[in-house]
Amino acid sequence: MRIVLGVGAGIAAYKACELLRLFTEAGHSVRVVPTPDSLNFVGAATWAALSGQPAVATAFEDVHQVPHVRIGQDADLVIVAPATADLMARAAAGMSGDLLTAVLLTARCPVVYAPAMHTEMWEHPATQANVARLRSYGALVVEPASGRLTGADSGPGRLPEPAELFATALRAADRAAAATALDLAGRTVLVSAGGTREDIDPVRYLGNRSSGRQGYALAATAASRGARVTLVAANTELPDPAGVRVVRATSARDLRDKILAEAAAADAVVMAAAVADFRPARPSESKIKKTGAPPEPIALVENPDVLRELVATRARPGQVIVGFAAETGDVLAHGRAKLAAKGCDLLVVNQVGNGLAFGTADNEAVVLGADGSETKISRGPKEALADVVWDLVMSRMPAR
């Protein structure tokens, strides 16, 4: 694939070197097009050495090749990282004062912007208006990550990690030919992932084997399809997906509170987290010690049923609610019973145990619909399963 990597004039430009490496090591041809000011952060010699291609910032070099037209026309994917407030403003206005903005006008392939700037700049109404305009043109503008910025500042505006941007960009390119490429644009979705933990004492807990991979795949694919995504993650060790706002949770009650707080703004809620059904009734305030005598039994009480509560208090008309059921034995019979009991719109049922589902890179499932439908998803990458789930969600969302 022929990729154009546009580089804006921000300190995060150094991270684009790693992004370039990921693309080239995956076998893609990458042409780096920096803005003139970005060369103050990373020089043209670095880009040329890493990409094996010239890296020029103006349209007045190699004029006989008409680079301001040809580079964009020939590209299969354009990704701008970092995309500064100034660069996005010029792109949104259709200005073409340097080679990169000219390329952005001539590109007819998927275009991905990865903003990076200080929080105040990102949140300014002018920047938000420019982001909305770029999205209206069909571009995918990835939400920035939250974290440490330049100096001591911290907040939204951090460039997502290169590996996550790499995955998002390739996913956008893969979906470019699909009619549903950015079908979630303008939608807000909420996803839960991971496994909750219930304290026994300050050291031990009751937990489960969920890694969070399927929930993270759901969040990442939704972001690559244009959605505004919040991920409530319970005890995961995975990197934050690019373009996804991540909220941390620990116990079932903690996850419940955070899910309900976010659900009011969501067009769809997908509960992929493995939420503990029970918790110790009286967690010990100190570590339970061996005494030589049989330990006291741990009394359990039921946790809140988050999925059922979401359905009972559905935040808005037309909100689509999706549950997950990890089952053993007759998984379809258990799934149908759970769908009837919970009342959600879709239930993703998969078999677990013996190396299936938990902690693996692939998954298979049957999606049961409240309308009686059954959609079988063959074993494959968890991202592929996630795309099918979002297809089913979109088919149930009211038209805007």
* Domain coordinates in residue numbering, the chain: 2-174, 188-396
**C-alpha R_g of the chain:** 23
**Per-residue pLDDT at 257:** 97
**Per-residue pLDDT at 291:** 85
Distance CA 187, CA 246 (A): 17
Fold: same for 2-174 and 188-396: yes
CATH code: domain 2-174 is 3.40.50.1950
Strand segments, DSSP code E, in the chain are: 2-7, 29-34, 77-83, 111-115, 140-141, 145-148, 154-158, 188-194, 198-199, 205-206, 228-234, 244-249, 268-271, 278-280, 300-302, 320-327, 346-351, 362-369, 374-381
Burial of 235 (0-12, 13-18, 19+ CB in 10 A): buried
Q: Are strands 278-280 and 188-194 parallel, antiparallel or unpaired?
A: unpaired
**Per-residue pLDDT at 296:** 85
**Per-residue pLDDT at 176:** 74
The two tokens of residue 204 are: 């031990």
**Per-residue pLDDT at 150:** 82
Q: Are strands 77-83 and 2-7 parallel, antiparallel or unpaired?
A: parallel
Do 80 and 6 touch, CB atoms closer than 8 A? Answer: yes
Cβ-count burial 361-389 (b if 16+ within 10 Å, e if not): ebbbbbbbbbeeeeeebeeeebbbbbbbb
**Per-residue pLDDT at 362:** 84
Neighbour tally for 221: CB within 10 Å: 27
Map tokens 């080239």 to a residue.
24
Per the omega criterion (within 30 degrees of 0), is the bond before 82 cis? yes
**Per-residue pLDDT at 157:** 94
Distance CA 25, CA 105 (A): 28
Q: What is the pLDDT along the chain (400 residues), one digit of tens a residue?
A: 999 999 999 999 999 999 999 999 999 999 999 999 999 999 999 999 999 999 988 866 665 565 568 898 999 999 999 999 999 999 999 999 999 999 999 999 999 999 999 999 999 999 999 999 999 999 999 999 998 888 788 889 999 999 999 999 999 898 776 655 789 999 999 999 999 999 999 999 999 989 999 999 999 999 999 999 999 999 999 999 999 999 999 999 999 999 999 999 999 999 999 999 999 999 999 998 888 888 889 999 999 999 999 999 998 889 999 999 988 788 899 999 999 999 999 999 987 766 555 667 788 899 999 999 999 999 899 999 999 999 999 999 998 7
Question: CATH classification of 188-396 is 3.40.50.1820, yes or no?
Answer: no
Q: Which of 208, 303, 350, 363 is catalytic?
A: 208
Identify whether 208 is a catalytic site residue.
yes
Q: HSE-up of 196 (CA within 13 Å, CB side)?
A: 26
**Per-residue pLDDT at 180:** 59
**Per-residue pLDDT at 60:** 60
The amino acid that residue 195 corresponds to is G
Mention every residue, 6+ apart, whose C-beta is less than 8 A from residue 261: none
Quick check: helix, strand or coil at residue 98? coil
According to DSSP, residue 124 is labeled S
